[in-house]
């Protein structure tokens, strides 16, 4: 059965780096959700304006559709998507019975340090606080979420995810 994995977390948590390293290890296609934002959303973020729930709706629906399309084709798919609120994760779960989330968890200080050392196409470090303010950490009721600390080398993160056998 094809699996649909969402690598979730705030900007700078390593979603893209983990996704690129994880995909070949589990025979999945990696898609960076940043690359499928509307131009309107990109322009807002580039201007330092946080996205609203309304801004995110079409993007989340598109990500959910990509996951359904992969499942229908029998292929594994990993998408980097912040999925900061439970409501966003619930929307992604609709008609995606094989979905799992991997929450890349880190402190504000660690992630801020990482972000300050990189250049992102449209996500300035000034928006990090708004992401943490928006973040609703997955609770125990969200049984389809694997929490992985990013305070370790990427190879250890990949091993932990692979060992969880979310994708066979």
Backbone angles phi, psi at 49, to 5 degrees: -100, 120
pTM value? Answer: 0.90
CA 89, distance to chain mean position in Å, is 10
pLDDT of residue 43: 87
Backbone angles phi, psi at 79, to 5 degrees: -125, 130
Write out the chain's pLDDT in tens, 168 residues: 789 999 999 989 999 999 999 999 999 999 999 888 888 988 887 787 877 889 889 899 999 999 999 999 999 999 999 999 999 999 999 999 999 999 999 999 999 888 877 665 555 566 788 889 999 999 999 999 999 999 999 999 999 999 998 876
Tokens 């997955």 belong to: 138
Q: Domain residues of the chain, as ranges?
A: 4-163
The CA angle 68-168-27, to the nearest 5 degrees, is 70
The CATH number that domain 4-163 falls under is 3.40.50.300
């Amino acid at each position: 059965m094809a699996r649909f994995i969402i690598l979730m977390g705030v900007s700078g948590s390593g979603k893209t780096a983990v996704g690129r390293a994880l995909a070949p290890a589990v025979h999945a296609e990696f898609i960076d959700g940043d690359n499928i934002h509307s131009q309107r959303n990109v322009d807002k973020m580039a201007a330092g304006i946080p996205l609203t729930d309304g801004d995110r709706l079409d993007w989340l629906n598109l990500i959910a559709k990509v996951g359904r399309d992969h499942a229908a084709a029998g292929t594994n798919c990993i998408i980097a998507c912040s999925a900061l609120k439970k409501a966003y994760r619930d929307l992604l779960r609709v008609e995606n019975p094989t979905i799992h989330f991997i929450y890349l968890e880190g402190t504000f200080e660690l992630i801020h340090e990482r972000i300050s050392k990189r250049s992102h196409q449209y996500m300035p470090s000034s928006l990090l606080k708004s992401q943490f303010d928006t973040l609703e950490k997955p609770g125990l009721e969200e049984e389809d979420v694997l929490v992985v600390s990013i305070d370790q080398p990427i190879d250890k993160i990949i091993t932990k995810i692979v060992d969880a056998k979310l994708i066979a």
